Amino acid sequence: MSPGSGASREARTGFVLVEVLVVSIIVAILAAVAIPVYSSYIKSQKRQAALALAQTAAITASSIKRRTGAAPTTATLNAALVLPNATQFDVKISEDQVYVIVTEQSNPGDTAMAAAKF
């Protein structure tokens, strides 16, 4: 047989450089698609959490207003609302609306805001 034929070759071990490059390109493309999708999912979840907290704050404010006859103070609402330790929130009250700003403590620049009427 000729030296270039497949029968005389020894068994090949390992990967060829082209195979490694193709796999790394595929992984890079998948990461380029997955990271923005995951990031938007996280932001969406934070907005949903802020909205849920705003609705809870509005229900609490309405209950306090109905019970006392006066709109609650920010301190009263902050004391009434409970969130996980990893989340910090700020509640502002206008005449008939509650504004909630939720901030993740691990990333202070990442905030979500929601409002609800009471």
* Of residues 79, 84, 77, the one with CA closest to residue 100: 77
3 part of a folded domain: no
85 part of a folded domain: yes
Q: In this model, does residue 5 exceed pLDDT 70?
A: no
10 part of a folded domain: no
4 part of a folded domain: no
User: Taking all residues of the chain, what is their mean pLDDT, rounded to a whole number?
Assistant: 77
How confident is the model over 40-62, as pLDDT tens digits?
Answer: 898 888 778 777 777 777 888 88
The confidence score (pLDDT) of residue 7 equals 53
Q: In this model, does residue 114 exceed pLDDT 70?
A: yes
State the Rg of the chain over Cα. Answer: 28
How confident is the model over 6-44, as pLDDT tens digits?
Answer: 555 667 788 899 999 999 999 999 999 999 999 889 888
Per-residue three-class SS string for the chain: CCCCCHHHCCCCCCCCHHHHHHHHHHHHHHHHHHHHHHHHHHHHHHHHHHHHHHHHHHHHHHHHHHHHCCCCCHHHHHHHCCCCCCEEEEEEECCCEEEEEEEECCEEEEEEEEEEEC
1 part of a folded domain: no
Residues 74, 99, 90, 63, Cα dihedral to 10° = 40
Of the pLDDT bands very low, low, confident and very high (cuts 50, 70, 90), residue 106 is low
Q: In this model, does residue 84 exceed pLDDT 90?
A: no
The confidence score (pLDDT) of residue 47 equals 77
26 part of a folded domain: yes
94 part of a folded domain: yes
- Domains: count for the chain: 1
Domain that holds residue 34: 16-117
pTM of the entire structure?
A: 0.57
Torsions phi, psi for 41 (to 5 deg) = -65, -45
